[in-house]
Amino acid sequence: MSTTLAKKETVSRKWYILDAAGKPMGRTAAQAAVLLRGKHKPTYTPNVDCGDFVIIINAEQAVLTGKKLEQKMYRRHSGWVGGLKEVQYKRLMAEKPEFAMQLAVKGMMAKNNLDRLAMTRLRIFKGAVHKHEAQKPTAWTQE
């Protein structure tokens, strides 16, 4: 028996929907990372981008457990002295829940070229309405 290795030309991609309503943000992000990377497929090959497209809906209804809303901070730095900007996740979830979910998924991915490419197949929407009905996405049930 030989091992099947996927090739870039033979990869078939599907569209999946993840509903984040009432679910922990980290669990939804971890499941999205698995789908984007293609680790759920039996033909997974580490050096080939064989992941699927992922649509995350209801990002504003994702739950942060514990005291993360008050204590967790999103930080960025301009590179200049005193250029640290901090935003509390309570404010980030109220103003830009799509960005907060994108940060969570990005944190779950490995840091290499394949996963940067896989992040381009991620679509996040604030509410339940999305614009990808033409791709006929199937709902992914989270374990």
Residue found under tokens 């979910």:
101
Q: What is the pLDDT of residues 62-73, one digit of tens each?
A: 999 999 999 999
CATH classification for the domain delimited by 13-63+96-139, as one of 3.40.640.10, 3.40.50.300, 3.30.70.141, 3.90.1180.10: 3.90.1180.10
pTM of this prediction? Answer: 0.92
Where exactly are the structural domains of the chain?
Answer: 13-63+96-139
The first and second tokens of residue 82, run together, are 């005193």
User: For residue 136, which phi and psi values (nearest 5 degrees)?
Assistant: 55, 60
Specify the amino acid at residue 113.
N
User: For residue 124, which phi and psi values (nearest 5 degrees)?
Assistant: -125, 135
Q: What is the pLDDT of residues 19-67, one digit of tens each?
A: 999 999 999 999 999 999 999 999 999 999 999 999 999 999 999 999 9
